[in-house]
Amino acid sequence: MAAKIVTFGEIMLRLAPYNYERIIQADQFQVTYGGGEANVAVSLAMFGDESYFVTRLPVNSIGDAAIKTMRGYGVRVDHIIRGGSRVGIYFLEHGASIRPSKVIYDRARSAISEIEPGMLNWGAIFKDKNWFHITGITPAISRSTAEVSLEAVKAAKAAGLTISCDLNYRKKLWTRDEAREMMTKMVKFVDVIISNEEDAYDVFGITAGGSDVTSGKLNVEKYKYVAEQLVILSGAQKVAITLRESLSASDNNWSAMLYDGSEFYLSRKYPIHLVDRVGGGDSFGAGLIHGLINGWDAKKALEFAVAASALKQTIPGDMNLVKENEVIAVVNGDISGRVRR
């Protein structure tokens, strides 16, 4: 029987100029949809898992289009509720070479930002499900989404689901102090924490001393300490940390580590020429969930997650549109990029 995973968060309309143009140059934008938990749900559906995306969307054509997008990739939308007046928007300016990518949010008063505790029937949502995934973005959207996020993890824990959370700190949405206050409460219910080289510091003040994320080089040994501290802080069973070495906006090295409370596992490192790095962390989280929920050992799940997220960053858009067998081919060493006929 297929694993059943629930994700909860915001799906946004994404507008991005073509051909690496700056926003100030653009006279047309490419339209796609995306958002942390929505991206995870799509990846899991592509891998063959039964994934459910929960959110709140307005009763209008844009809300309809967002639901159509999710359903089109095989995600179950049974528990999406309708209401509010708008879908959140974000503008993405793709970076290149030494020019970084930029994001501008236009998500104030979005439908999900006005969600309130009690609007979602978590008992029905979590019935017969195995896993719940959320990110630190959702509680950052508004006071009420924070309350609903806490409501959700409590209900998931009571229902016996495994819970994962990607810390995903967004400084444009809340302060470090606000993040620490809320995420300290939430992670007490979390079994698997996903972070990157910056989030642990931004949210909890835990630092990998001696590593400089802007230098393109990371001290992996220091991140073992970060993982240990996150386990102590939260009581989580596992902590995964993605390790991005940013050589430029166009070229990165990508790897990850996983700590299960006793052993550390370090993945293979992939050199990536980036097509679109947005959603890289989400695709890693989805790959890790897929491996763990299907009973793979920690090392196998980690390698699958890193390969999946490396592939995603070669695909335009937020979502990772690859199948399990494509990821396994990369895990097995097929990274030549040769045409398949």
Residue 316 lies in a domain: yes
pLDDT tens by residue, 33-46: 999 999 999 999 99
pLDDT at 211 over 60: no
DSSP, collapsed to helix, strand or coil, labels residue 161 as coil
Residue 339 lies in a domain: no
130: domain range?
A: 4-330
Q: Residue 1 has what pLDDT?
A: 57
Q: Residue 255 has what pLDDT?
A: 95
Residue 179 lies in a domain: yes
Where b means 16+ CB within 10 Å and e means fewer, 7-25 reads bbbbbbbbbbbeebeeeee
165, 137 contact by CB (below 8 A): no
The neighbour count for residue 169, using CB atoms within 10 Å, is: 24
How many whole angstroms separate alpha carbon 4 and alpha carbon 158?
Answer: 17
How close are the terminal C-alpha atoms of the chain, in Å?
33
106-to-14, 18, 19, 247 alpha-carbon distances in Å: 10, 19, 22, 30
pLDDT at 282 over 80: yes
What is the CATH number for 154?
3.40.1190.20
Q: How many domains does the chain have?
A: 1
How many whole angstroms separate alpha carbon 178 and alpha carbon 273?
Answer: 35
Residue 340 lies in a domain: no
One-letter amino acid of 102: K
pLDDT tens by residue, 168-180: 999 999 999 999 9
Residue 193 lies in a domain: yes
